[in-house]
Amino acid sequence: MSSETEGSGAQLLRASEVVQILGISMRHFQRLVDSGVAPEGMRLGKRAKRWARSEIEKWIAGGCKREGSK
């Protein structure tokens, strides 16, 4: 189940939702994040991490390239 931020309408995704969209394993997604290829996401508290759906969609539309690469 997804969360929405107050007032902005921005949908936040859990890692499990991101990997489902991408069709990859959780381990592979974590490697992409750790290596700087996938968007880093944002921390909510000490442990929870979320990714903005718009950020993931933009990354996919750009060919899933490393941030800042052409």
Q: Which domain holds residue 35?
A: 3-61
Could you give phi then psi for residue 65, rounded to 5 degrees?
-90, 160
pLDDT at 1: 45
pLDDT at 66: 83
Q: Is residue 29 part of a domain?
A: yes
Query: How do residues 31-52 score in pLDDT, each as one tens digit?
Result: 999 999 999 999 999 999 999 9
Q: Is residue 36 part of a domain?
A: yes
Q: Is residue 68 part of a domain?
A: no
Q: Is residue 37 part of a domain?
A: yes
Question: Per-residue confidence at 68, pLDDT binned at 50, 70, 90?
Answer: low
The pTM assigned to this predicted structure is 0.79
Helix (H, G, I), strand (E, B) or coil at 41: coil
| Among 54, 60, 50, CA closest to 14 | 50
Question: Per-residue confidence at 5, pLDDT binned at 50, 70, 90?
Answer: very low
Task: Provide the number of structural domains found in the chain.
Answer: 1
